[in-house]
Amino acid sequence: MVEEELLNQLFTLEDGRKLGYAEYGAVTGKPIFYFHGHRSSRLEPKIYDIEEIKNQVHLIAIDRPGFGLSDFTANHSILSWSSDIIEFANSLQIDKFSVLGGSGGAPFSLACAYKNPKRVISCGIVSGLGPIVLGIEGMAKNNRKELELAQKHPNRLKLLFKIQAKFSKKLVEKNIDDIIRLFRKRGKNLPEPDKKFFEDKKKLSMYVPLMMEPFRQGVNGPFHEAQLFVKPWDFKLSDISPDVKVYLWHGDIDTSVPKKMAQSVCQEIPSCEAKFYSSEAHLSTSVNHIKEILMKII
């Protein structure tokens, strides 16, 4: 298949819903199901450089319900995602696999580790969001605002997402130099490593088109998921089987998901190995260390 086909595939679940997915690397490589961040999609791995290890990994990135190509369902929960993944894995005749969740994809990766310990070989978490009961001290203002709106003012949050969707659509029409200037202005409070990402023309040129994809079908997917994040998770981290190795990578200066939250998540999990980077932030951790992360998982 050509790249366009690989990045825009569909699988129909038994209940009739469609899941959109993209494949990276080689089908002969070790299978890793990749769960994108909040307000992202199956196209997220496009910003990663895996050329050196592409023959060793089969990275399969799946849109969650309401994101990208995947049908929305109000019945989607953090734990129900693991059932969708098992059905999907069975269709690909993949028995054992690893999972990797970045940022808002972390809860779904951990849910798979909890629900399917006999199928999940290892679970990776990068810059991952944890249960908010663990505390959001040190979290950036805009992230705290989204969580607060999801809890107390959901209608305002839906309006905010609609504004973001319009912004993303207009952004694609601008030239890259104008986009860099805009991100420079809007990202003044970002940690330095993440600022560098938005100053890189090549990476930013790949990133901007990705901003539209989570809103392809409207805002229901991101809106529903934001509400899931502020509710109690439907499983306990402490109940993840010790037979499933969980690896966690996090930047010390991540303000989107504070280091303290990541430390608390790892302490709750029976078999968790964490690595913290002193000079990395939210985006930069995965972008700068993706080869190390993928090789560790497999």
Structure tokens at 64: 């969650």
Contact 259, 252 (CB under 8 A): yes
Confidence of residue 105 (pLDDT cuts 50, 70, 90): very high
Mean pLDDT, residues 259-272 taken together? 97
- Is residue 1's pLDDT more than 80? no
Mean pLDDT, residues 89-118 taken together? 98
- DSSP code of residue 164: H
Sheet holding 18-25: strands in order across?
9-12, 18-25, 57-62, 30-35, 97-102, 120-126, 245-251, 272-277
Polymer length in residues for the chain? 298
Report pLDDT for 189: 85
Q: Which CATH number fits domain 3-297: 3.30.530.20, 3.90.1820.10, 3.40.50.1820, 3.40.30.10?
A: 3.40.50.1820
Contact 198, 184 (CB under 8 A): yes
Report pLDDT for 209: 84
- pTM of the complete model: 0.96
Domain ranges of the chain: 3-297
